Amino acid sequence: MAKVQGIQEKLHWPLYDAFVVPDQNGAAVAPTFATEMAKRDARILRFFVDVQNKTRLETNLQASGQLPSLNRYEVRAMRVVVSPLLRRERISRPKEDVHDPDTDNVLADLIYNSVTSLLVGEKTMIEMPTYYFPAGAGVSPGTQGLPSHGQPDPMATFRFSEPVHIEPNQNFRVEILFPQGVPEGAKTVSHRTPVRLGDAVGPLRLWVVLDGYLTRDVQ
């Protein structure tokens, strides 16, 4: 479809990208957060950089680190969203508690042991511990016992006081850095051993969402 010269449209269009810990799927050893992260970098996760071979659930970016065509973007908010862990079977317990501390440990390890940064054109636009960027999404706490990073309300997240601009053909990315490494628990896991972030098995997805406005040519 041909572009309409000189006319552009501005629309609310969040950008998202995910780090994925896949399910075991018959593998001899279940992949964990630490082993999947070590395939790229043992201390840092980079988002909006590696978008190839991902599903639409995991990213909506078409090219690594850049907007498509000559589009521009205004970042108004940034979120870090983590999917709840699947519960582990506990043979030693006659009845599993509704509240599962394992998921709390994993979430705490993520938000209190890492630093999240937004970089545009190799310039750091913001850098804060990850707890500063609540998800504003997820399952409501209650009988399900599934904790989420903050309240499941789109307004309950970090918003920039002034928009961060991404110009056409300008590189951008988000980094989550673990300065002291990803926390891992004991090698022998029992019902009394807390599950740490590095031990978390899939399916698990960690999204970074840039919420804002996309300006593009009208077609």
Is residue 164 a contact partner of residue 119, using CB atoms and an 8 Å limit?
no
Sorted by where each begins, the domain ranges of the chain are 8-88+95-211
Q: Both tokens of residue 110? A: 């993520």
Average pLDDT over residues 181-186: 83
Query: pLDDT at position 206, please?
Result: 95
Give residue 25's identity as a one-letter amino acid code: N
Burial of 95 (0-12, 13-18, 19+ CB in 10 A): exposed
Most confident of 20-24, 121-125, 147-151, 215-219: 121-125
Query: pLDDT at position 12, please?
Result: 95
Alpha-carbon Rg for the chain, nearest whole angstrom, is: 19
Query: pLDDT at position 213, please?
Result: 97
Is residue 49 a contact partner of residue 64, using CB atoms and an 8 Å limit?
yes
Q: How far apart, in whole angstroms, are the C-alpha atoms of residue 135 and residue 3?
A: 36
Query: Which tens digit of pLDDT belongs to each residue from 98-113?
Result: 445 556 788 899 999 9
Is residue 102 a contact partner of residue 88, using CB atoms and an 8 Å limit?
yes
Query: Which tens digit of pLDDT belongs to each residue from 25-73?
Result: 877 888 999 999 999 998 999 999 989 889 999 999 988 989 988 899 9
The pTM (predicted TM-score) of the whole model is: 0.84
